[in-house]
Amino acid sequence: MRHARAYGLAGLAALVVGAVAFAQSTAVPLPEETPVESAPLEDNAVAELAEAEWGDVTRGQTLAGACAACHGLDGNGTDRSIYPSIAGQNEQYMAHQLALFKSGERVNAIMQPEAARLSPQDMRDLGAYFATQEAQAGIADDGVVDSGPYEGMAFYEIGQQLYRRGDTAREIPGCMACHGPTGAGMPGPSYPHVGGQVAWYTARRLEEFRSGTTTERDTHLFDVMHTVAERLTDQEIQALASYMEGLHPRPDAATRAQMARLDGTVEVPTRGGPGATGDAVEIEAEEIPAGAPGAPDVEPQDPPQPETGTDAETDTDTDPTTEP
């Protein structure tokens, strides 16, 4: 693989030199679609992940330099219109997605070669590092809907209603049950951080889940979201994505420490302290205690137990990285 990569770089250099020479001789621009060179797929990347240890934040930070050009060193993305945010994502979810890219089960021409050079331990280290980073949020769309079933509501309110309560009549569970009131997700593999994520990316992921089609071999996590998303309309997907982009992704330092499973030796960055709100953010997440009116009535599958300090290494039930 080292060789393949060396050839890849040599090829790229030749391409650049050639392109410069070409550009000097004529004014014709380069073709837009330069061929993507992808590293060979590694069949067992997901299975190998189970053998890696819980990620090391300091090591992850060193490795994160390789991600910075696109995702930014803090994971918030150098251009929100092109790159999803990975700041605040939980350790296991990120490691699992990286393994899926590496094995080619999750198809993406940009991320596949990035993931291909990571060892399982690198993936978990990166996950631990990005879990300590604070996700930025955007602004939700508050334009008023002028027709259809949600006439008169602000666009983001459609998303807010679904996010908090779902739609019982149509068997759509509230997203909050699994992704938390602030979109921070839950410590554990299955419940990714979604608050503040760029809307285009959230919408596309929801469309993928709704379609029910995946190239992942073990579909049990995908299927959870397929069941959630299968009845959503296009309008609801866009409204959810807008609401979630504006959702304050501000778990307090203790929660973030738990998500990164820090042992107290590494400081978790805070901005403004617990309960602080962002600057340009419109949505204030509402804490709705379980069982209260309006609380989600859907039990998450494999419910996580953040309070009792779920131990991922022993909690194989909820850990896709340890399941075949």
Separation of alpha carbons 308 and 271, rounded Å = 26
Instruction: Kindly identify the residues of this chain, within the stretch 242-281, that bind ligand HEC according to CB under 6 A.
Output: none
Contact 96, 321 (CB under 8 A): yes
d(CA 131, CA 318): 18
| Residue 165 contacts ligand HEC per CB under 6 A | no
2 vs 27, beta carbon nearer ligand HEC: 2
DSSP state of 39: P
Among 192, 196, 246, 278, binds ligand HEC (CB under 6 A): 192
Report the DSSP beta bridge partners of residue 144: 154
135 is a contact residue toward ligand HEC (CB under 6 A)? no
What is the sign of the dihedral through the CA atoms of 166, 172, 176 and 182? Answer: negative
Binds ligand HEC (CB under 6 A): choice among 10, 110, 144, 276: 110
Q: Which of 87, 137, 140, 194 binds ligand HEC (CB under 6 A)?
A: 194
- Quote the least distance from Cβ 8 to ligand HEC, whole Å: 14
Applying CB under 6 A, which of residues 206, 257, 259, 260 lies at the interface with ligand HEC? 206
Residue among 240 and 281 whose Cβ is closer to ligand HEC: 240
- Contacting range for ligand HEC; rule: CB under 6 A; set: 5-13, 37-45, 139-147, 201-209: 201-209
Q: Taking CB under 6 A as the rule, does residue 150 contact ligand HEC?
A: no
In the chain, which ranges are continuous DSSP H helix?
2-25, 45-49, 57-63, 68-71, 91-103, 111-116, 120-131, 155-165, 176-179, 199-211, 220-229, 234-246, 253-260
Among 92, 112, 202, 318, binds ligand HEC (CB under 6 A): 202
Out of 45, 225, 239, 257, name the contact with ligand HEC by CB under 6 A: 225
- Interacting span for ligand HEC (CB under 6 A) from 21-29, 93-101, 140-148, 262-270: 93-101
Contact 93, 193 (CB under 8 A): yes
**Of residues 45-84, which lie at the interface with ligand HEC (CB under 6 A)?**
66-67, 69-71, 83-84
Q: Tell me the DSSP string of 133-182.
A: SPPP------PBP-SSTTTTSBHHHHHHHHHHH-BGGGTBPPTHHHH-TT
Distance from C-alpha of 137 to C-alpha of 85, rounded to nearest angstrom: 10
Told to check if 184 binds ligand HEC by CB under 6 A, we report no
Beta bridge partners of 283: 247
Alpha-carbon distance of 45 to 309, in angstroms, equals: 27
- Site residues, ligand HEC (CB under 6 A): 66-67, 69-71, 83-84, 86, 94, 97-98, 108, 110-111, 114, 126, 162, 173, 175, 177-179, 190-192, 194, 202, 205-206, 221-222, 224-225, 228, 240, 298, 300-301
